[in-house]
Structure 1
């Protein structure tokens, strides 16, 4: 098996390693881009430094990737307003056809001589523990790895990145919640290569903690842990994988990584070690389902899918997807609480957004049982009895049908009261939907307008979300 493993890895390494021509092309382009950026920044009233960061700086990019990350460092005492203004001014001059993106602060994205460029302003701080914005530590990451990555380790990093891309867990964006490039590089470096990384991952028992620089006691006095990727500034390291940032002991590099993606890596690490094959390095994109195929899938499962569809809020993915996940969880929890038994759920987004939930129970009886306290718990029992006895006589203010009871079942009072919603559609089309935990922008979009699709009607989603539905109805690890 070792020979098979080595043969597959060698073939992948050859495929993902940039050749001399590509390296020279990148070198020349980044040189011209840096000169152009330095010239644009020279007109500013402050001193700046321009630094190349990311995989292109560390020679760990995959052949064919044409992404360049260039950072403009500003003095640490510059106020945030001017940092943003100067950063965008340089961005407009260097990338006149570019567009503004926003993470913690705005930056410019555009094309330069066939390469996709992120031009990002940051603060030139003394060290990564003194950051004023999350991106300030990126140059320290580049310097740390440049000093430690030799050609052999860099080659294994590229293979690891290709593997993580192939199994669908590469990228720390908040849609994917996977492995970032920096995290991948640290893991390969820490374990000593691609094979040892897979061997270790296959046997992980989360939570797993790695501390590349043995910060140890230093962490005891470090500020509260930072989790920049998910927007929280005061969280403990309770993630399934913790990799202490070697430049900043208060940060988990793997904070954005979801438990599901840790588990997926473990599954495919074991699968590749048991049966090495090149297909695992290629993303497995399913054929999109058409409307008929969706209807067939629904009929075969015998469940009732429901979908809440609305215009996707105008947000970048890192803002949109956390809100979609929160909204999906909130709706699913309320449907469960109301007895509709959510079998599985998902969220999709393009021009439209979808909260997709598959129900084991589509309709409920007109009444629901409500257990009261044991009769022998005198005060509580009396309060329960009097409340529902009054409702039975029409003495309460509710407009619902009077309850059946109270009566005694076993040792406690019970009533059978009118159910507020007898179908999932009724609930989803009611104002009660807005009482669940929704993302703020998702809630605003729903307030503007939304549609509810039930059963076979979800087949209408196939035109826009055929691939997402194919993944849903044919799930893989």
Structure 2
């Protein structure tokens, strides 16, 4: 019993108290033994074996040599680095990513850097293709490994960066100096833990813990288990400053000041729900260690019968706006979907339909799904005016409605004028199918997609979403932390 739950009285060393104490110690020993067994089993799965390490090293060394040769022919004073988790020994067995950065002197302009970077990339991976972040780079597959050849500027300090990728070599160097084999193994455990609970990844769909953030947290707390113990007791906002820069403040639930750049919060993208999710499963795992926490639980697609059972049991009214998904990368699409979800739910709430819960999903098409507690509203709505004693405003309100044949009132109630007027929309479908939908805050590309056409599904009609979004609907109707 915690101090908050107990009566605060010291009952002394009675026999029952001694028995409880002994039992508690036994429970603690059993949990510690169980945790050690789980950790050992998970490490067997996530630690790359020597053969896997050798194959990765051989491919990386061969490609780095090619990149060095190609870069030297274009520009003097360049170098080539392997960065990321494979360079820091924190990659999980089965991960196939090798990131190679080609660093050019800062005297180059960005256009020349991009051109040289692509030349080096194509010389290193002849079958590669171009992708774009802040500037273009070459991506390809070599012997089963996913390779990125990325150009950046060679700088003295991360505070001098000219694009986001310029930070990465500083991150790699910082962590290489602090990660020994044991901590690196604990990073792999922590990454798998976060993957298992659905909180790993800094993409704007997940908004979870990046690899770099995970590594910093393991280093800061000294390992996997002490990190979980600390997370279990976090009281957001949590602020960590590994190098004690002490210069910047951030308004985020988790703040980890970048050791290489004091003006940056490494955890800025991490959503409060994922911070809370980490806390929930840290407490749950320490109380009952088990392997399944490390295993992502991909639900089976929801069936039509299952969906109808949920709708009947819940008694809510689901509505969905479905449209062609904008042709955007996920990091552009999902912020726009979230903005549109917020706008649509606010529009429905403002019109009295009482949003119960909502989500947005995307694949070939996209849908904003909203569950409503109220499916239909009366034909009239109440509209309160100012108190009668506020003369100017009150008289203006009265005059606006006094001669309106379609309004009830004005009348006085609670010392203020009130009128009852025709409601613009008595059903959510009516609002969603009207041009007023475009008055809510929508993502720009989502708005364009809606202008090209969309459909509104209501009630049982949402079964039409199952073929494309069966797993997402299963997640929605069986929510977990």
The answer as to 2:342 corresponding to 1:329 is yes
Residue from 171, 184, 187 that aligns with 2:214: 184
Shift of 1:292: 2.9
- Could you say what secondary structure the match of 1:391 adopts? coil
Supply the distance in 2 between the matched residues of 1:104 and 1:175 (Cα, whole angstroms). Answer: 19
Q: Aligned-pair distance for 1:73? A: 1.6
Secondary structure in structure 2 of the residue aligned to 1:371 = strand
Alignment partner for residue 382 of structure 1, among 358, 378, 395?
A: 395
Tell me the equivalent position of 1:418. Answer: 422
1:310 corresponds to which of 323, 326, 337: 323
State which drifts further: 113-122 or 331-340.
113-122
Distance 1:108 1:362 in 2: 51
1:133 aligns with 2:137: no
- Of the two, which has the highest radius of gyration? 2
1:92 and 1:344 map into 2 onto residues whose CA distance is 48
Q: 1:60 to 1:313 in 2, by over 3 A?
A: same
Q: Is the 8 A contact 1:201 1:269 kept in 2?
A: yes
Aligned to 2:435: 431
**1:262-285, CA deviations, whole angstroms, 9 ceiling, x for partnerless residues?**
000000000000000001000011
Kindly report the root-mean-square deviation, in angstroms, between the aligned alpha carbons of the 2 structures: 1.4
| Aligned counterpart, 1:455 | 459
Q: Give the CA deviation at 1:158.
A: 0.7
| 1:78 maps onto 2:108 in alignment | yes
Task: Give the whole-Å Cα distance in 2 for the aligned partners of 1:45 and 1:194.
Answer: 44
| Per-residue deviation, 1:197 | 0.1
Correspondence for 1:25: 55
1:471 to 464, 472, 475: 475
Which digits, 9 at most, give the CA deviation of each residue in 1:290-337, with x for residues without a partner? 233222222221111111111111111111111111111111111111
Cα distance in 1 for partners of 2:351, 2:435 equals 15
Aligned equivalents of 2:32, 2:203: Cα separation in 1: 34
Distance between the aligned counterparts of 1:251 and 1:110, measured in 2?
A: 31
User: What are the within-5 Å matches in structure 2 for residues 3-402 of structure 1?
Assistant: 3-45=33-75, 47-216=77-246, 219=247, 237-392=250-405, 402=406
Q: Distance in 2 between matches of 1:89 and 1:353?
A: 37
Q: Cα deviations across residues 404-440 of structure 1 (Å, max 9, x unaligned)?
A: 1111123111111111111111111111111111111
Give CA deviations for 1:227-259 in whole Å, capped at 9, x if unaligned.
xxxxxxxxx511111000000000001011000
The alpha-carbon deviation at position 45 of structure 1 amounts to 4.6
Alpha-carbon offset, residue 214 of structure 1: 1.0
Structure 1 residues 92 and 425, CA gap change in structure 2 (3 angstroms): farther
Whether the 8 Å CA contact 1:33–1:112 is kept in 2: the answer is no
CA distance in 1, matches of 2:378, 2:130: 53
Q: Give the Cα separation in 1 of the matches to 2:323 and 2:127.
A: 31
The aligned counterpart of 1:441 is: 445
Q: TM-score, normalised by structure 2?
A: 0.91
Structure 2 runs not aligned, ≥5 long: 1-30
TM-score where L is the length of structure 1 = 0.92
Alpha-carbon separation, structure 1, partners of 2:277 and 2:332: 24
